[in-house]
Amino acid sequence: MEKNPEVIMSNATLKKSALVVSAHSADFVWRAGGAIALHHAQGYDVHVVCLSFGERGESAKLWRKGNMTEEKVKEARRAEANAAAEILGASIEFFDMGDYPLRADKEALFRLADVYRRVQPHVVLTHSLKDPYNYDHPLATHLAQEARIIAQAEGYRPGEPIVGAPPVYCFEPHQPEQCDWKPDVLLDITSVWDKKYQAIQCMAGQEHLWEYYTRVAQQRGVQAKRNVGITSSRDIIYGEGYQSIFPRVTEDLA
Contacts with Zn ion, residue ranges (CB under 5 A):
23-24, 27
Q: Which residue is nearest to Zn ion (CB)?
A: 24
Of 23 and 168, which CB lies nearer to Zn ion in the complex structure? 23
- The closest alpha carbon to 35, from 53, 23, 48, belongs to 48
The minimum distance between CB 136 and Zn ion, in angstroms, equals 6
The minimum distance between CB 121 and Zn ion, in angstroms, equals 21
- The closest alpha carbon to 99, from 146, 141, 51, 144, belongs to 51
Of 177 and 235, which CB lies nearer to Zn ion in the complex structure? 177
Of 22 and 190, which CB lies nearer to Zn ion in the complex structure? 22
Contact 230, 252 (CB under 8 A): no
Of 171 and 238, which CB lies nearer to Zn ion in the complex structure? 171
The minimum distance between CB 23 and Zn ion, in angstroms, equals 5
C-alpha distances in Å from residue 188, one per residue of 45, 141, 161, 220: 19, 24, 33, 9
The minimum distance between CB 174 and Zn ion, in angstroms, equals 8
* Spatial separation of the C-alpha atoms in residues 63 and 42, rounded to whole Å: 38
Contact 165, 152 (CB under 8 A): yes
Of 45 and 58, which CB lies nearer to Zn ion in the complex structure? 58
The minimum distance between CB 157 and Zn ion, in angstroms, equals 30
DSSP per position, 86-102: HHHTEEEEE----SSS-
The minimum distance between CB 190 and Zn ion, in angstroms, equals 25
* Spatial separation of the C-alpha atoms in residues 152 and 121, rounded to whole Å: 12
List of residues 6+ apart from 125 with CB closer than 8 A: 18, 19, 20, 21, 28, 32, 35, 168, 169, 170, 171, 242
* Spatial separation of the C-alpha atoms in residues 86 and 89, rounded to whole Å: 5
Of 44 and 53, which CB lies nearer to Zn ion in the complex structure? 53
